[in-house]
């Protein structure tokens, strides 16, 4: 049976800790594609697309003279046999028979597996729009249960495909589809959990996003176990079993109801009136308002109305829950969903997210090929593959930086929010006029200021990452790994914090889903960019990186608009303060209940 919101609030720390662990192991693990690609090649996925190298020598029935043989290209060695009437042609640098785990590897295999990664990574973001709409309406519980089941099924599919890769390689497309869907269900549902932590909501959102981004370390960790000799199929079956534990944890701890935003629900209100017979699901401020309404009815004194109520239709007081519901109508949304997605702020956030996602996704998809290009020179093929494998493992381990650095951007988003004034707090309005009230910052303006700083910092790091990608130096890619990891965690945290600060909480999931869908569609451009790099550009990523660096500059449009948006908010706040200087006191109260 699903717990209530009150029970879930009591278990919020357990849910937060387990959500971080579950995100690390079961959310966006496809971000560690480089390590998974090596394991899939070693297990023979799409190896049948590769062909054996041609014979190193061949006897051609040609009538060539030794003179003409000497003038031929130096890449080949020729021997003339007059008795047989032919020439034997031998390449000076014969094509090497490249194998991984006993299976042939080739360029065609890379392109097919990269296409599977594109499909999985696309679903990792594109599915968030319907997920957000469903979650805003029905809560995260059912989606999280579905996501854990889909992830377990994807692991079993990959294991089944590895059993006979020559016939079942196509299952990798289906498996990565379920993996992307299940992983995004896990990630997206965890983003509502920070609502239970009040003013630290942005920090916990950043922590959840950090654990999601750090899940790229999972496949490198699996590769370490794989290199120790553990069967690939065994690893995946055990992994699927662990996903079952996530299912049961969600079943026993996550409530059916959506988590209300901190401004709509106060979990710290503790009032016990069991004799009133309230529904056990009533919690927080709504419960407080209902009890306040009941208290006012019970304190009317010994009036005739009270006597009539106590003796009418039985000799007990019967309270109407319908009246209580009328007293607790939620506030209407300040703007519609269509108005939100058509706002300039949301449009610019889409631009920022699209260019950032394309920049990051392209680097992850083409990283192995880029590293192979940078590790050229005197290294032979085996040494080059070992070096690429080492750098891939280092990149995977560095993904833990997301978990360690995203709380930093969360703290920037939450900076000095505790010192701010909500502008509608009734308790602060009840201060005596003789008491000097210190001037406090406006909470909305402070959130916009924090978001501006966060986006400027993140875009500077993104430009720095683009510059390091332009420098053809292999050791410098360590710095690229660090910047890539930090930017990937920061950008999602900034977007989530911005939507939570500006738009109604009931639209958070839908807006985040829309943003993820559009950015995922735009990120599909990484496949033609990859094909261009491998084809016309002959594996050289320089011109692609130059173009992506130029596009990354568009990310600065959002913080520029945020500065303008903040100035507009300050102007409105100033006008409101000038209009509200005189108030009338009603019934001798110190509370300003009407303005003139």
Q: What is the DSSP string of 57-85?
A: -EEE-----HHHHHTS-TTEEEEEETTTT
Position 160 scores a pLDDT of: 93
pLDDT at 281: 44
Which residues, 6+ apart, have CB-to-CB distance to 401 below 8 Å?
214, 482, 485, 486, 489
What pLDDT does residue 463 have? 94
Residue pair 366/539 in contact by the 8 Å Cβ criterion: no
Q: Which two tokens stand for residue 312?
A: 């009418």
**3-class DSSP state for residue 500?**
helix
Structure token digits, residue 191: 């983003």
d(CA 96, CA 328): 75
Which pLDDT score, from 0 to 100, does residue 128 have? Answer: 75
Separation of alpha carbons 26 and 145, rounded Å: 12
- What's the first-to-final CA gap in the chain, in angstroms? 53
pLDDT in single tens digits along all 596 residues of the chain = 678 888 888 888 999 999 999 998 998 888 778 788 889 988 888 888 887 765 544 444 434 344 344 334 445 555 555 554 555 555 544 445 677 777 888 878 888 888 888 787 777 666 777 887 888 777 889 889 999 999 999 999 999 999 888 888 899 999 998 988 888 888 888 888 888 887 677 788 888 888 887 887 888 889 889 989 899 999 999 999 999 999 999 999 898 887 776 666 554 444 444 444 444 444 444 444 444 444 444 444 444 444 444 444 444 444 443 344 333 444 444 578 888 888 999 999 999 999 998 998 888 878 878 888 887 655 566 777 778 878 877 887 787 787 888 888 878 887 777 776 655 444 444 444 445 555 667 777 888 888 899 999 999 999 999 999 888 888 888 899 999 988 988 888 888 888 878 888 778 778 888 888 888 788 888 888 888 888 888 778 888 889 999 999 999 999 999 999 889 888 888 777 676 554 444 445 445 544 44
Tell how strand 76-81 and strand 86-91 pair up: antiparallel
Tell me which residue of 540, 359, 349 sits closest to 466, measured CA to CA. Answer: 359
> What single string gives the DSSP state of each residue in 368-426?
HHHHHHHT-SS--HHHHHHHHHHHHHHHHHHTHHHHHHHHHHHHHHTTTGGGEE-S--H
Rounded to whole angstroms, how far apart are CA atoms 198 and 194? 8
Residues 69-84 as b or e (16 or more Cβ within 10 Å = b):
beeeeeeeebebeeee
Taking the CA atoms of 416, 422, 426 and 431 in sequence, report the sign of the dihedral they define.
positive
Q: What is the pTM of this model?
A: 0.64
Identify the CA nearest to 212 among candidates 33, 23, 483: 23
Pairing of β 99-100 and β 103-104 = antiparallel
DSSP string, 267-310: TT-----GGG---TT--HHHHHHHHHHHHHHHTS-S-HHHHHHH
DSSP label of 581: S
The closest alpha carbon to 172, from 36, 27, 68, belongs to 36
| Strand ranges for 125-237 from DSSP E | none
Cα(155)–Cα(179) distance, rounded to whole angstroms? Answer: 8
The pLDDT value recorded for residue 378 is: 54
Distances (CA, A) of 309 to 277, 302, 313, 316, 554: 18, 11, 9, 8, 67
With a CB cutoff of 8 Å and minimum separation 6, the contacts of 445 are 566, 569, 570, 573
308's tokens: 């009539």
- 441 in helix, strand or coil? strand
- Going by the DSSP 8-state scheme, the letter that residue 261 receives in this structure is P
Alpha carbon distance 20, 252 (integer Å): 17
User: What CA–CA distance (Å, rounded) separates 349 from 342?
Assistant: 11
What SS3 state is found at 86?
strand
Question: From CA 341, how far away is CA 189, in angstroms rounded?
Answer: 21
Provide the 3-class DSSP secondary structure of residue 231: coil
426, two tokens: 């009734």
Can you read off the two tokens belonging to residue 481? 């790994």
Q: How far is CA 531 from CA 16, 109, 356, 383, 484, in A?
A: 41, 13, 20, 25, 22
pLDDT score at 298: 45
Query: And the tokens for 305?
Result: 């109305």
């Amino acid at each position: 049976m699903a717990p209530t919101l009150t029970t879930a609030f009591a278990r919020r720390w357990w849910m937060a800790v387990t959500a971080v662990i579950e995100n690390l192991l079961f959310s966006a693990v496809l971000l560690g594609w480089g390590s998974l690609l090596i394991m899939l090649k070693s297990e023979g996925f799409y190896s049948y697309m590769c062909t054996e190298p041609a014979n190193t020598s061949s006897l051609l029935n040609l009538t060539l003279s030794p003179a003409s043989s000497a003038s031929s290209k130096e890449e080949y060695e020729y021997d003339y046999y007059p008795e047989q009437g032919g020439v034997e042609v031998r390449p000076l640098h014969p094509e090497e028979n490249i194998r991984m785990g006993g299976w042939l590897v080739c360029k065609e295999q890379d392109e097919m597996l990269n296409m599977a990664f594109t499909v999985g990574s696309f679903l990792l973001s594109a599915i968030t729009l319907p997920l957000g709409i469903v979650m805003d309406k029905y809560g995260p519980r059912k989606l999280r249960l579905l996501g854990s089941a889909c992830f377990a099924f994807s692991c079993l599919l990959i294991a089944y495909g590895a059993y006979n890769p020559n016939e079942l390689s196509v299952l990798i497309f289906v498996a990565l589809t379920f993996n992307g869907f299940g992983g995004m269900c896990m990630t997206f549902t965890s983003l509502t959990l920070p609502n239970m932590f009040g003013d630290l909501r942005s920090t916990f959102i950043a922590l959840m996003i950090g654990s999601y981004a750090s899940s790229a370390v999972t496949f490198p960790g699996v590769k370490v176990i794989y290199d120790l000799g553990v069967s690939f199929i065994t690893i995946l079956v055990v992994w699927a079993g662990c996903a079952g534990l996530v299912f049961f944890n969600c079943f026993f701890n996550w409530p059916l109801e959506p988590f209300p935003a901190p401004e709509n629900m106060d979990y710290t209100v503790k009032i016990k009136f069991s004799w009133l017979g309230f529904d056990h699901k009533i919690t927080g401020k709504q419960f407080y308002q209902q009890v306040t309404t009941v208290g006012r009815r019970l304190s009317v004194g010994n009036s005739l109305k009270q006597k009539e109520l106590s003796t009418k239709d039985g000799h007990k007081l019967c309270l109407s829950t319908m009246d209580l519901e009328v007293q607790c109508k939620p506030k209407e949304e300040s703007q519609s969903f269509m108005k939100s997605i058509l706002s300039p702020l949301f449009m610019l956030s889409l631009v920022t997210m699209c260019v950032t996602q394309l920049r990051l996704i392209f680097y992850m998809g083409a990283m192995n090929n880029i590293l192979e290009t940078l590790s050229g020179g005197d290294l032979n093929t085996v040494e080059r593959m070992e070096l690429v494998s080492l750098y891939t493992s280092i990149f995977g381990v560095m993904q833990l930086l997301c978990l360690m650095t995203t709380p930093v951007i969360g703290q920037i988003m939450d900076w000095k929010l505790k010192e701010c004034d909500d502008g509608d707090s009734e308790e602060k309005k009840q201060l005596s006029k003789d008491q000097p009230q210190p001037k406090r910052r406006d909470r909305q303006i402070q959130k916009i200021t924090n978001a501006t700083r966060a986006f400027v910092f993140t875009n500077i790091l993104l430009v720095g990452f683009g510059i390091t990608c332009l420098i053809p130096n292999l050791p410098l890619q360590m710095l690229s790994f660090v910047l890539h990891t930090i930017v990937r965690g920061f950008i999602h945290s900034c977007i989530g914090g911005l939507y939570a600060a500006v738009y109604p909480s009931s639209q958070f999931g839908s807006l985040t889903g829309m943003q993820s869908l559009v950015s995922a569609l735009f990120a599909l451009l990484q496949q033609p960019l990859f094909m261009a790099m491998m084809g016309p550009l002959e594996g050289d990523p320089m011109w692609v990186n130059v173009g992506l660096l130029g596009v990354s500059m568009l990310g600065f449009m959002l913080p520029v608009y945020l500065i303008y948006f903040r100035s507009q908010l300050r102007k409105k706040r100033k006008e409101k303060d000038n209009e509200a200087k005189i108030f009338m006191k009603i019934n001798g109260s110190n509370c300003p209940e009407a303005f003139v």
